[in-house]
Structure 1
Amino acid sequence: MGDRWHVEVDRRVCIGSGMCVNHAPKGFRLDGARQSHPQVPEADADEQVLAAAEGCPVEAITITLLDGGESVFPPEE
Structure 2
Amino acid sequence: MFLACDDDRRIVRIEVTDTHPALPARLAPGSDEDGGRGLVLVDALAVDWGVRDRLGSGKTVWAECTTVPARRAGRATAASGTAT
TM-score in same-fold range (> 0.5): no
Higher RCO (C-alpha 8 Å, min separation 6): 1
* TM-score where L is the length of structure 1: 0.24
Greater C-alpha Rg: 2
Higher percent of residues as helix: 1
